[in-house]
Structure formats: structure tokens, C-alpha cells
Amino acid sequence: MKQLFIILLLLISIRSSSQSKDLIYLWPGKVPGETKEKHKPIIDSTRKDGVLSYLEITDPVIEIWLAEPGNINNPGVLVCPGGGYSHLTYSKEGTEIAAWLNKLGYSAFVLQYRVPLKREGALQDAQRALRIIRNRAAQWNLDANKIGIIGFSAGGDLCVRTSVMYNLKTYQPVDKSDSLSCRPGFALPVYPAYLDQGKNRTLTPGLEITAETPSMFIFQAADDGLANSSLVLAGALRDAKVPVELHLVPKGGHGYGLRPGNPAAETWPQLAEKWLSRTLATIK
């Protein structure tokens, strides 16, 4: 009976989170590097916290959350949930973030990237998603130069890797979307992970920060065991003279999303909102 209740709770979460949002499948043919057949996402039915989480994704999509009409040159944001690359914490760090962005007047696109343990596939998915969004910018009343990315935990790592590795060709072109740049116009890694895997906990090898790296807003709590990721990233961005805003608050831990009652969760959205407003005003 208890298991049935959990499954029903998850089904309700799916319906309420998606709200009949449109989906765009990233790969019309074979998914690059994928060995399994395409199938619907596998839900983690063991969770007891009401969070919708996916255990396996083989057919990546973006879920479209368009802002209300009326904003000219509306920015768009690709949202990358976390989950340690082993699963996808889809509602807490995905659709709930999209709803928040919509309230700010920004369109959001929640990325269902490949899991489990498909880090390179996730980068392909993020690159492809940004190109598709940019290709359809006029259709969605977006400014193609103001399409950015936000990510949480492993999604924060993906956010940074996508922002840094935008010139890396990770897959064969599929259609005209792939002739466009996948460089985000701005990036917000929130409690990012895995960025300090270099020698003596320095920046992870392969993350070559240059003056062309997009501006970043970085947020983390000092009591988060992964907080060094934010520190080394901010240092590398500063050294490359890339505009960066770093916030390190004392308490909050990890994985809080927008959930009330956590001091970090109640702090970062206000700071991010102000940063987004200032940063978007500088992008032409």
C-alpha cells in the first residue's frame, strides 16, 4: 500500500511539473554514443520525498517553459538538473527552477540529459539543446544572444563544461541547428560539483578558461563538501578576466534547490535575479 502511494505521488509530480509542456527530442535519429534503444525515462519509484527523479534516460529532450508574452528580446535559459550523473533530480532542480525563471519573465528549457554515468553524452545533449534553442529563437521570441545556462550540482558541472567547451565538436552535425554556436551567453552554476579534480584540488583538467568564456554567477554554501569547486572556478575566471560573481554563504549544505527553510535556498535566487538583470543588460 505504501509503495502504491509513492508511485501515485510521483505520477502527480510528473503531471504537475510538466503542466502539459511541449517536449523536443534532441536526436531525431540515433543518439550519438548511445548503446541502448530509445525508451521513456525510468522513474525512481523508491524516493519518499516526492521529488521526481529519473534513473535512466536514453532519449534526451528539452521541456519547454515559455514566459508569458510581452517581453521583447526575451532571454532563454537551459536548465540542467543534478544527480551526480547517476540520476536526474528533475523536479527539484529542473521544473521548479523553470517555474521560477518564468516568474522573472525568462523562458526556460529543462534538459533531460542522459543518465546514468554518461557524462560525455550529457555534454553532447547540452550542446545540441543550446543549438536547437538558438535555431528556434525567433519562433519563441528570444534574443539568440541572450540564451544562457543554469545548473545544479552535477548539472552545475555540466553548465560549466558546456560554457567552456563550446568549441569542442562532440558529435556529427544532425541538421541546420548544428551550424550555430552552442556558447551560452551567460552561466549560473549553483552548488556545482567535480570542478576541482586537478592536482592538489585545482581546476579539473580540460576546463580551459579563456577571455571568451561567458560571465558566471556562482553560488555555494561553505559547509558543502563540494564547495572548493566554486572557489577554484571563480579563481580561474578572475585570472582570465572573465566577469564573475561568487557567493559563499556559511550554511546550507548541498542539493537544496529552491526549497524553503534552507538559508542558502532562500538566498541564492534573490542574488541570481539581480545578477541576471545586470548581466543581460550588457549583452548586445
Q: What is the pLDDT of residues 256-270, one digit of tens each?
A: 999 999 999 999 999
pTM (two decimals): 0.93
- The DSSP secondary-structure symbol of 178 reads G
Q: How far apart, in whole angstroms, are the C-alpha atoms of residue 284 and residue 270?
A: 24
Summarize pLDDT for 102-142 with one digit per residue, the tens. 999 999 999 999 999 999 999 999 999 999 999 999 999 99
- Interior CA angle at 70 toward 110 and 90, to 5°? 10
Separation CA 55–CA 141 (nearest Å): 34
Mean pLDDT by groups of 10 residues along the chain of 284 residues: 36 46 97 96 95 98 92 88 98 98 96 98 98 97 97 98 98 98 98 97 97 98 98 98 98 97 98 97 93
Residue 19: the pLDDT is 55
| 154, 155, 157, 160: CA torsion to nearest 10 | 180
What DSSP character marks residue 57? B
3-class secondary structure, 181: coil
Domain total in the chain: 1
**Domain membership of residue 96 as a residue range:** 2-282
C-alpha cell of residue 95: 521544473
Domain CATH code at residue 208: 3.40.50.1820
Other beta carbons within 10 Å of 55: 16
Q: SS3 of 188, please?
A: strand
Distance separating alpha carbons of residues 184 and 187, to the nearest angstrom: 7
Residue 28: name the closest of 208, 190, 178 by CA. Answer: 178
What distance in Å separates the CA atoms of residue 79 and residue 155, rounded to the nearest whole number? 8
